[in-house]
Amino acid sequence: MDYPIVRMRRLRVSEHLRLMLRETKLNASDLVMPLFISEKITEKRPIESMPGCFQIPIREVAEEAAKIARAGILSVILFGIPAKKNEKASEAYNPDGVIQKAIREIKGRQPQLVVMTDVCLCEYMSHGHCGVVRGEGGQAVIDNDATLELVARTAVSHASAGADIVAPSGMMDGSVAAIRGALDKENFAMTAIMSYSAKYASCFYGPFRDAGESPPAFGDRRTYQMDVPNWREAMREIELDIREGADIVMVKPALAYLDVICRAKQRFDVPIAAYNVSGEYGMIKAAAKMGWLEERTAAMEVLTSIKRAGADLIISYFAAEVAPHLVPAA
């Protein structure tokens, strides 16, 4: 049957009807709030390229987590900025490192909050790459297998401090298997792994590198992060990580890769996370500042589109801002 018997607008005539029939519903429990924790500061420091976001000193992280929990968010993901860096990333797996201290602070005040930790070495390496570098100048390469031991040690140190979920983000082949083996060996069998399985070499990470103070000192990350045009490769990466023991898999960035999120959701029967990254956040903030769009409406539309594509969890810098306007967590 067609018009005029069928009138699609009948079910849009009131706000209550639209709410009743809404196919995709964004909840506060869908969101994860990123936090940047710095050993180098004693007061919160604004991140210039990410309006509304801050680097947070360790002494304030528990209170920041409490605010996030009061907004209805169930989880945070932590990124560390150490006072010292070297070519072995030793502060990444230091039992008294910045993230390890932050985890203990949060869990001491907010034990119910799910604490995820970014398990990457770039913030801790003096050269800013995500792995061990061999060679110099134009001959420098990332040593994948040498990096695995350091990533596994970092994950175990986070679990020992109380992390609920560890999240390898360096795109090193075999990292999930190395972490799962190390966690199980050290009696952390119940610590979950959320792998950055399909992490693209995207231009949308720019502001994050200011926030995390982690730009590479030379070259780029295209030999280990994924090539932007590829989606079949993403399916292989995700499948491999699931076989290695990933409990949750991620697509990053989110907004420019909704098709990859959708394909992953259709193909794999595991929770799918998506990272609404700093550049995606910054575009909305900048356009809103210019008066070109309404910020909260735009943020909600973007986050809803990510969930509609198939994401079960959305990591977003908008999380704390929008959560009070969403259905609260149960």
φ, ψ for residue 50, nearest 5 deg: -135, 75
Catalytic residues: 199, 252
Q: What is the DSSP letter of 250?
A: E
User: How many Cβ atoms are within 10 Å of 189's Cβ, its own excluded?
Assistant: 10
249 burial type by CB count under 10 A (0-12 exposed, 13-18 middle, 19+ buried): buried
SS3 134: strand
* Amino acid symbol at 291: G
Where would I find the beta strands (DSSP E) of the chain?
31-38, 45-46, 54-57, 75-81, 114-119, 132-134, 141-143, 165-168, 192-199, 248-252, 272-276, 313-316
* Whether 301 contacts 24, CB under 8 Å: no
